[in-house]
């Protein structure tokens, strides 16, 4: 191998490159920031035996952010615990406070152990809960029983 040649940029080139980077960062931050403050929102909580998933939407149902116990860092059976659900709710509150949401409607679905703790954690953070609605599907008459076994 021969000698390595290091290309030295001039001061003018460095200033131009810095301006390009600053413009790109400014453009990305404008894209991430909401155009207007949203006051009302909905939180959909799906609590299964294996995980707790929470979605934050505006009043018309457009998703603003979502989190799950697995995305925060819980693994295995720890994802389905009430502690994990409360941590998900805390993280979702951080997203809601950045957007400016003060009032929420909660729509909950599923029979996992994180249902109650997620709601309590959201209420403890200072969000005003206007309504709580349970959307868990309930079978009315069940499935048809199997035929009698013939031996």
Q: What is the per-residue pLDDT across 124-136, written as a single tens digit (0 to 9) for each? A: 998 999 999 999 9
Domain residue ranges of the chain, discontinuous segments joined by +: 40-134
CA distances from 86 to 61, 80, 129 (A): 23, 11, 16
More confident residue, 1 or 58: 58
Taking the domain 40-134, which CATH number applies? 3.30.420.80
Contact 42, 107 (CB under 8 A): yes
Q: What is the per-residue pLDDT across 5-20, written as a single tens digit (0 to 9) for each? A: 777 778 888 788 878 7
Q: What is the per-residue pLDDT across 13-59, written as a single tens digit (0 to 9) for each? A: 878 887 877 777 776 655 555 556 788 999 999 999 999 999 999 99
Spatial separation of the C-alpha atoms in residues 112 and 101, rounded to whole Å: 26
Spatial separation of the C-alpha atoms in residues 63 and 73, rounded to whole Å: 22
Mean pLDDT score, 110-138: 93
* Phi, psi dihedral angles at 53 (to 5 degrees): -120, 130
What pLDDT is stored for residue 28 in this prediction? 62
Mapped onto helix, strand or coil, the DSSP state of residue 59 is: coil
Q: Is the pLDDT of residue 3 over 80?
A: no
Q: Is the pLDDT of residue 4 over 90?
A: no
pTM (predicted TM-score): 0.70
């Amino acid at each position: 191998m021969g000698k390595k040649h290091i290309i030295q940029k001039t001061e003018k080139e460095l200033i131009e490159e810095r301006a390009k980077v600053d413009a790109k960062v400014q453009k990305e931050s404008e894209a991430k920031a909401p155009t207007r403050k949203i006051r009302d929102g909905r939180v959909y909580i799906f609590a299964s035996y294996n995980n707790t998933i929470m979605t934050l939407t505006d009043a018309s149902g457009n998703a603003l952010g979502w989190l799950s116990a697995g995305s925060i860092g819980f693994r295995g059976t720890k994802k389905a615990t009430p502690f994990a659900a409360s941590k998900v709710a805390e993280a979702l509150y951080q997203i809601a406070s950045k957007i400016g949401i003060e009032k929420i409607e909660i729509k909950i679905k599923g029979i996992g152990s994180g249902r109650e703790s997620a709601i309590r954690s959201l209420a403890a953070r200072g969000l005003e809960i206007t309504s709580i609605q349970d959307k868990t599907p309930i079978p009315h008459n069940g499935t048809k029983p199997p035929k009698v076994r013939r031996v």
